[in-house]
Amino acid sequence: MIKQKLDSLIGNSENLTTEFKLISYQLNPETVNYLQHSESKKLDTVLVVSNDFIKYRTIDRIISPLRLIDIGQDIKSPLYRMRNRYFFLTKIPDHQLGIYNNEQLGLLIDIKPDFQSHFSGLFSAARDINKSWYLTGEMDFHLENIWRTAGQLNIYWQKLDSTSQTLRMHMFEPHPFGWTLGTDWSYSHEIVDGLFTDLKTKAAVQIPGYILGSFYFGYVSGKIIPTGKGELNGYLKSRFQGLSVMFEHNSHNSRFLPKHGSLMNFNTDFGIQDDITYIQAEIEADHHFSLNENWNIVTSLWGKMIVLDQGNVSEARQIRFGGINRLRGYRDKEFRADAVSIPTIEFHYQPS
Render pLDDT for 210-257 as a digit per residue (tens, 0 to 9).
Answer: 778 899 999 999 999 999 999 999 999 999 999 999 999 999 999 888
pTM: 0.85
Phi, psi of 148 (to 5 degrees): 60, 30
Looking at residue 98, its pLDDT comes to 82
Tell me the C-alpha distance between 121 and 101, whole Å. Answer: 55
Q: How many CA atoms lie within 13 A of 155 on its CB side?
A: 5
Tell me the C-alpha distance between 250 and 269, whole Å. Answer: 21
Confidence of residue 22 (pLDDT cuts 50, 70, 90): low
The CATH code belonging to domain 118-349 is: 2.40.160.50
CA 5, chain centre distance (Å): 47
Q: Where are the domains of the chain?
A: 2-37, 45-110, 118-349
Tell me the C-alpha distance between 321 and 340, whole Å. Answer: 8
Looking at residue 214, its pLDDT comes to 92
Q: Could you give the C-alpha distances from 168 to 37, 54, 334, in angstroms and in order? A: 58, 27, 19
C-alpha Rg value of the chain to the nearest Å: 27
pLDDT digits (tens, 9 = 90+) for 122-142: 988 877 777 777 788 999 999
CA 188, chain centre distance (Å): 19
| Higher pLDDT, residue 312 or 73 | 312
Q: Report which secondary-structure segment, H or E, holds 107.
A: strand 104-110
Structure-derived torsion over alpha carbons of residues 46, 57, 140, 325, reported in degrees to the nearest 10: 50
Average pLDDT (180-191) is: 96
